[in-house]
Chain A
Amino acid sequence: MATRRVTVSVNGSRREAEVEPRLLLVHFLREHLGLTGTHVGCDTSNCSACGVLMDGKVVKSCTVLAVQADGRDILTVEGLAKGGKPHPIQKAFIEKHGIQCGFCTPGMLMSAYALLSENRHPTEEEIRRGISGNVCRCTGYAKIVESVQRAALSRTW
């Protein structure tokens, strides 16, 4: 099949590539751009470990075609830290031990980022709803919820 040229803004940089229409956004990020922070957890659109922001909304990058991201803004977990300093959400996950094996963490961070971008003071229930699409098989979510609560207290953003 004919390839397509796509231009995507990824973490603020303009990236261009020739891709097959069937290429999934997650593989574009991981293999074409080397951004392996975005994980493939289930491959069946269930787990959201591959969560990234597309035009400000968190989406499953395994359930979007790379060609569909043409002209869009993508933010991946690599785009959270600034100047070598972890983002307040990342710091909060470290401080509150919101990580065990770490596999789901990139997706959790992106869902938390999307939630807190729209709602800086979520209730516990709103946090639980906000991350309800993200599966963690280690912890049982309590520490993750606490991490997001801690992040919400951060004054710098």
Chain B
Amino acid sequence: MEHCALLLPPSFDYAAPQTLPEALGLLEKGGEGAKVIAGGQSLIPLLKLRLASPTILVDINRIGGLDYIRESGGFLRVGALTRMAEVEASGLLKRKYPIIHDASTVIGDPLVRNLGTVGGNISHGDPANDLPAVMLALGAEFVAMGPSGQRNVRAEEFFQDTFAVALEHNEILTEILVPVPPSRSGGSYLKFEQKVADFATAGVAVQLTLNSKDECENVGIGLTAVGPTAIKARKAEESMKGRKPTDTEAISDLARLAAEASDPASDIRGTAEYKRRLVGMLATRALKTAYGRARRGGAK
């Protein structure tokens, strides 16, 4: 083929199994060279740049029953193959999990969201992806299916390093579990990007639950694109407990601690110092929105 000027993926073998056990068998057989492809919106660009060169792609798009958004047993359950466009269109998520809805509107662009999946955004392990921070803020768990069955991994143990997550090569992420938030909960995700579909310069996810006195009972904070992985800003979370989100001292503590939790690198999107200030500012704004939503019972 004569496309020396074009970007083409390297050669690989390909299989499109119809069932999960079949897919797991292919991963087992393929060893470290096997790679799962779902929406492909991160993987195919990497293949074109030859930053990934799997020997076999196991395409899970034809496996049924992995795309759903529902609540059951005290959890919101989202199938890993659910497209971002379906997340964006979900009334349940918009109403009750606005932090996830927020993220769904800023991931990639409309074309990317038509194919890109929830599971892919999480398991790709890119610190600039948006859902990891949201999942950290929500205290989510992920279901990994492997040859010996399923295991659950907490979000805070999942993101290990850049492009490295707690999935073995023979495991597939199948479901995302988010504890159903108590009443008077709300969240917000804010991403600062230079243009549509660019990676975040920084992003902040804030999820909170208020007590009857409008004080924070529980706070979850996740940061995007300001470290080797998405970051759970634990000190910032702790600092808000028992304080009102309108307390100016609490707000400035939150901004400072969120910024301190970040570990950004200087690049074309800004200096490390700029990004740290951005984190503080986004945290302040996300807190305000999350608070407003929590006071209205979690709804928009």
Give the interface of A toward B (CB within 8 A). Answer: 1-2, 4, 20-22, 24, 27, 31, 40, 43-46, 48, 51, 57-60, 62-65, 67-68, 70, 111, 114, 129-130, 132-133
Contact = CB atoms under 8 A, between A and B. Distances in A.
Contacts of B13: 1-2, 21
B20 interface: no
A42 to B, nearest CB: 9
6 contacts: A2-B13, A27-B3, A62-B48, A64-B115, A67-B59, A68-B16
Interface stretch (B4-12, B261-269, B285-293): B4-12
Interface stretch (B27-35, B105-113, B118-126, B156-164): B105-113
A22 B8 contact: yes
B3 to A, nearest CB: 7
A31 B6 CA distance: 13
B14 A59 contact: no
Contacts of A133: 108-112, 196-197
Given A27-B1, A43-B7, A45-B112, 8 more contacts: A21-B13, A46-B197, A63-B41, A63-B44, A63-B115, A64-B40, A64-B44, A133-B197
A51 B9 contact: no
B80 interface: no
Nearest to B85: A57
Interface of B: 1, 3, 6-14, 16, 37, 40-41, 44-45, 47-49, 57, 59, 61, 85, 108-112, 114-115, 196-197
B61 A68 contact: yes
Contacts, number: 93
The residue in B12, B14, B197 that gathers the most chain A C-beta atoms within 10 A of its C-beta is B14
Contacts of A65: 14, 37, 40, 44, 57, 59
- Nearest first, the 9 A-B pairs at minimum CB distance are A133-B109, A21-B14, A57-B114, A22-B9, A1-B11, A132-B196, A133-B111, A45-B45, A43-B7
Contact of B114 (A21, A24, A31, A59): A59
B40 A63 contact: yes
Contacts of A48: 109, 111
Contacts of B6: 27, 40, 43
A46 B16 CA distance: 26
A67 B44 contact: no
A67 B41 contact: no
A45 B44 contact: yes
A43 B48 contact: yes
Contacts of A67: 14, 16, 59
Contacts of B16: 67-68, 70
Contact of A21 (B12, B111, B196, B197): B12
A44 B114 contact: no
A32 B144 CA distance: 39
A61 to B, nearest CB: 10
Contacts of A64: 40, 44, 115
Contact of A68 (B7, B59, B110, B197): B59
Given A60-B111, A63-B44, A65-B44, A20 B11 contact: yes
The residue in B48, B110, B111 that gathers the most chain A C-beta atoms within 10 A of its C-beta is B111
B168 to A, nearest CB: 24
